Structure 1
Amino acid sequence: MPASSDQLALENWPPDLTAAFKDLPESRRWWIALSGGCDSLFLLHCLATLAPRHGVTLHAIHLHHGLNAEADQWQQHCEQVCEGLAVPLVSERLALDPDQPDLEARAREARYECFESLLEPGDLLFMAHHGDDQAETVLLRLLRGSGVRGLAGMPAERELGNGRLVRPLLGLERRRIEALARDWMLDWCEDGSNRDTRFDRNYLRHEIMPRLEARWPRSGRRMGRSAEHCREAEQLLSELADMDARSTASGQGISVQALAQLSGPRRQQLLRHLLIGHGCQPPGERRLASGLEALLYAPDDGQPELRGEDWRVCRFRDQLWLVPDLPVVRMDADAEWSVNGSLEWFGTLLTSARREGSGLAIEAGERLRIQARRGGERFRPGPGQPHRPLSKWLQEQRIPPWERAHLPLVFSDGELVAIADLWLAPEWRAGEGQTGWMPVWCRPWQLLKAAP
């Protein structure tokens, strides 16, 4: 039977528990990731006590992984507990194939995708990770050869989708949480798979950490302190990278020549910092170093690049660009486009803006043909000028190679009337007093630069 409201009252909390929830971010709604285990149920009761004092509503999210025979019972238990606390519960079922590799990683990715889909601006998602979880994370990353950023472990707070993720229990050990949960007479579910040492984290938890604790008592807490030191070091490295980004700035981006003047570790840290700022996971140390070497020193016509999971960093002239992986444009690509509509074009988007006295002098809704470059195109850049090869003109306009490859050409009755938003045929331009439609081509690639 759960503890009484007096036992759960904030005034009766021990000091270490009270301190764990000090300085919570401002919010309009709280969510808790509720598994039904001891840690998350304990956190649920803490938040149910705190929510009225903070003037926020509390909601719970339970994810049914479909991997355990008792998963239905866990969901029912979560429903019963939430009903007793008058906390609305959302239950989602994840589609995971247990026979595919990297089950742990896939399950984690699926969980966070679900969390992100629920969070709205101003929402907080609370997770019940504690000090032992932090120690296991640090040790796992150490064994994988992680750098300072990885060894900083799990942050107590970070952005997640439109909201923020908060881990208030990182300063408490598992045994402390279990002792408090027993004092509060909470009833939780035990997941037998947590003892399956085929999984890396379970192996560390049951085989390695007890031996470390036996030889070096409180070693888990010491790992947590090391994570805090690494987090401070990562903050200092980020500040140094911001300084280097300013010192190597050229126009809106980063100068490759200035970047080459930095020491190897500093330019690698700067590139890593910029990628993280753009939401990209940097590659490993060796691939980062070799890719950066190519970007800095390859010949001008070499088109060097550093490849990531679904993106690449490309060099064009003296600047670096972040280019997402996009579908290849077929030479015979052809599509119809309504001038006041939008058209997805191989990972880019073609729209238009209504303009007075500029743009294409055509009627709203008029349909045009969009074609890919097929080679050998010639056009007249301006009135009275001779026809010129499109390929040479694009080079003179300093259009990057990947942009040239995706360029949409706009035709009307077989006549070239626009080259994306780079050029309009003079005889098709709206004059004074006319309404025109200016093509707008939304490109997903961007200069690699520091955050403003």
Structure 2
Amino acid sequence: MRSSLSTFNEIWQQQLRSSILIDADQHFSDRNFLIGCSGGMDSMLLLYLLHSLFPQRIRAIYIDHQLQEPSATWGKVVADFCRQLDIACVVQCVDVASGNLEQQARNARYAAFLQHKQPNEVLVLAHHQQDQAETVLLRLLSGAGVGGLAAMRRIDIRDDLTIWRPLLNLPREQIEQWTHDLQLSYVTDPTNADPHYDRAWCRTELWEVLQQRFPQMQSALARNAQLMQDADDILQDVVQQDWKKCGDGSHLSLSVLAQLTAARQRQLLSVWMKGELTYRPSLDAVERLQREVIQSKADAQACLYIKPYYYVRFQNVIYRLTAREYLCKQTDHLPMQQTITLHKHQPIVLVSGQYQYAECEYGLSAELLNTTCLLHMRQGGEKVHLQGRIGAWPLKKALQDAQIFPWLRHRVQILLKDDVILGVFTPQGFWLAQSRYCQYGGWQPKLIHEH
């Protein structure tokens, strides 16, 4: 008579196969699978399992971080296993940058995944229930919010990568049992038990203590991640609604932001500050933005740098700028004065952009074409009689009215002929100045490409 344990194992194995087939049918019916395989027990079982279900739709990839002496041998174990099952396999060596070793190794690994993943492939990883529980616990200890406690998703769809974790609800004990029953070969990474690393410390030092008190801790933490994923989805819906009201990826209106509750302000700022980064900024960073920039005087050009972005307040708006955008004034080494010749059929390239000749109802005289003019960088204090205005106005006032930001004003250049101001080149285009060189049926430089 068969043991109840054997019957139980068959039941959960069948349930797992069924859930994988359902996922594949509902979400990935026309996709292939790139399986990230470290050679460990869980990833070797995943490779075997997906081969049994989708033999013609899978490839494997082993990432050699070159951090341990036997890492190349582990890659050979994976490659040999794939050869036995007739699975295409990539072995990729990567260089891990200095810094937080766990984080930098992860960055290198995912960069390699992106390099090899084909457009129709989903990345499949072998994270299991204990991995999920450890992630929740570590993020809780690091002060993560709802998004952090949501941990890993079974199906994680990103802009550049879709990740599927079919074993995420599976306890490690069942993985061990199934791997033993199948007599699968696998490797053991000694760093998995090295308490120098946070995750290994959690697994070897903290885990047993907590389980003695809370025997169902692992499943409870994993369940908490699922609840947090639901909460995070709801929260993100609210954040996106607030974002559309307040601005876009580059700026937020402070007057609209002020109408939100304090909690919604913090959530929106956290998502907005993240930009193209992988993770959101810390709560301390959000509070610094509020304190040092948002709450600064309205007439102040407050600025906060939190790598890699500059957060700048101008009037009643905050802007998120890259270092290149904000510091370009320091990197553009242009002469204060230079000569320039204007041609009818030859575009000119200036610090504010590229311009070409364009006929207009009222503009510059044709006699200026093919002659030498002077180009002065704006220094401050200039007054210009711009066409359409009465009398000469401070150029600074015109730039403010046109919402040309202070960090872009170094691109402003003044065009002169015989000490007569002809106009001003700006990031918004050419502004014609009233002068004796103006006429009806004239021409103007037209901005065709911004800097």
Taking the aligned partners of 1:399 and 1:63, their CA distance within structure 2 comes to 48
Residues 122 and 163, structure 1, Cα contact 8 Å, conserved in 2: no
RMSD: 4.1
The SS at the match of 2:60 is: strand
Are residues 1:441 and 2:426 paired? no
**Equivalent in the alignment of 1:83:** 83
TM-score normalised by L of structure 2? 0.77
- The 3 A distance-change label for structure 1 pair 178 and 328 is same
Residue in 1 that maps onto 2:50: 47
Q: SS of the residue aligned with 1:22?
A: helix
The alignment's TM-score, normalised by the length of structure 1, stands at: 0.77
- Alpha-carbon distance change, 315 to 84 in structure 1, aligned in 2, over 3 angstroms: same
**Map of 1:224-373 to 2, 5 A cutoff?**
224-246=222-244, 248=246, 254-276=252-274, 279=277, 281-326=279-324, 327-330=327-330, 333-334=333-334, 350=353, 373=378
AA matched with 1:15: Q
Q: Structure 2 CA distance, aligned partners of 1:166 and 1:87?
A: 19
8 Å Cα contact 1:130/1:170 also seen in 2:
yes
Maintained 8 Å contact 1:332/1:374: no
Structure number with bigger Rg: 2
**Corresponding letter in the other structure for 1:395:** Q
After TM superposition, the structure 1 = structure 2 runs for residues 23-422 of structure 1, keeping only pairs within 5 Å, are 23-24=23-24, 25-26=27-28, 27-52=30-55, 57-96=57-96, 100-160=98-158, 162-246=160-244, 248=246, 254-276=252-274, 279=277, 281-326=279-324, 327-330=327-330, 333-334=333-334, 350=353, 373-375=378-380, 381-382=386-387, 389-405=394-410, 407=411, 409=413, 418-422=425-429
Rounded to whole Å, the distance in 2 between the matches of 1:78 and 1:273 is 39
Matching residue within 409, 415, 423 for 2:430? 423
- State the distance in 2 between where 1:204 and 1:409 align: 60
* Distance verdict in 2 for CA 1:51–1:340, change over 3 Å: farther
Runs of 5+ consecutive residues of structure 1 not aligned to the other structure: 1-9, 362-367, 443-452
* Larger RCO: 1 or 2 (CA < 8 Å, sep 6+): 1
Task: Report the residue type matching 1:394 in the other structure.
Answer: L
- CA distance in 1 between counterparts of 2:260 and 2:407 reads 28
Contact 1:331 1:373 in 2 (8 A): no
Task: For residue 354 of structure 1, report the CA deviation from its aligned partner.
Answer: 9.9
Residue type of the alignment partner of 1:314: V
Unpaired stretches in structure 2, ≥5 consecutive residues:
1-9, 367-372
Task: Give the conservation status (yes or no) of the 8 Å contact 2:194–2:200.
Answer: yes
**What is the count of residue pairs matched by the alignment?**
415
Equivalent residues in 2 for 1:1-16, closer than 5 Å: 13-16=13-16
Using the TM superposition, give the Cα deviation of residue 21 of structure 1 relative to its aligned residue in structure 2, in angstroms.
Answer: 4.9
Query: What are the Cα deviations for residues 240-281 of structure 1, in whole angstroms up to 9, with x where unaligned?
Result: 32343455569x964312322322112111222334576574
Q: Partner letter of residue 41 of structure 2?
A: C
Which range is displaced more, 328-337 or 230-239? 328-337
Deviates more, 1:121-130 or 1:219-228: 121-130
Question: Identity over aligned residues, as a percent?
Answer: 28
User: 1:131-180 CA deviation, whole Å, 9 max, x = no partner?
Assistant: 11111111111111111111111122223452311211110011211221
Distance 1:192 1:125 in 2: 25
Q: 1:384 to 1:226 in 2, by over 3 A?
A: closer
